[in-house]
Amino acid sequence: RGALQVEQLGAFAPGTRTPCLANIGFSLEPGEMLGVLGASGSGKSSLARLLVGVGVPQTGKVRLDGAELSSWDRTALGPHIGYLPQDVQLFAGSIAENIARFAEVDAEQVVLAAQRAGVHELVLRLPNGYDTLLGEGGAGLSGGQKQRVGLARALYRLPALIVLDEPNAHLDDVGEQALLAAVAEINREGRTLLLITHKPALLAGSDKLLILRNGQMQAFGPTARVLQDLQPKAAPTPALAPLRATPSLSMSYGTPAS
């Protein structure tokens, strides 16, 4: 269903004992959209990896529909999670195989995922369409093209939980419009979405907003409320001193009255 619970999550930066996340806790109901904001190094990508089971937390738990991710069979869990990492990794093989995650290719679902990601027309222009072979790392595609194929992979069969980490980092205007349309469809279809981005336009439809700072939660709650709380408070307007009556000269043709 896509119900997500994060409980006192903590993790170290890879290869170190330096915490990159500490005491992160929140929950999302099925179909909710969470926006995640924070400066570089605030732990956004580390959080994304833990939520999809790529990494193992040092403390705390991540639960999907009540069950810890570590208790799921990874083969069974995989189809229910869509993940677009900030550094998109594609693999040697056809575009269709990459979108289908190298499982059995369902051609209809591959095309549908590509259409949702706005990459279908681009693929059709390639020499062999969906059968076009890529080199290791997606060699043969530009950065923006790889990101859109990676988005199609994340949207393949519309998983219950979808995590997109800076999905517009390499997109042009056309790609960003396709991304906005994809986000809207994810919402309509009732999938749970976690979206890490610096573009406020993508967060317009989010239900909740999480602000990370130095690996800790700075704010979490309904998007409108969090944004309002972040607005600088306007300085109070100084009260105007009462006007004092001052003697005035009655003027008659410029001559002071006696």
Helices marked H in 107-234 = 107-116, 120-124, 143-155, 173-188, 223-230
**Per-residue confidence (pLDDT) for residue 218, from 0 to 100:** 92
pLDDT band at 235 (very low <50, low <70, confident <90, very high): low
Residue the block writes with tokens 């980092």: 169
Least confident of 167-176, 182-191, 200-209: 167-176
Judge whether 192 and 30 are in contact, CB under 8 Å.
yes
The pLDDT value recorded for residue 238 is: 56
Angle at 190 between CA 61 and CA 216, to 5 degrees: 35
Domain range summary for the chain, segments of one domain joined by +: 4-232
With residue 77 as reference, give the H or E element that holds it: helix 74-77
Give ∠ CA 133-85-81 in degrees, rounded to 5. 90
pLDDT at 198: 77
Determine the CATH number of domain 4-232.
3.40.50.300
pLDDT band at 127 (very low <50, low <70, confident <90, very high): confident
**Residues 189-207: what's their mean pLDDT?**
87
d(CA 103, CA 62): 26
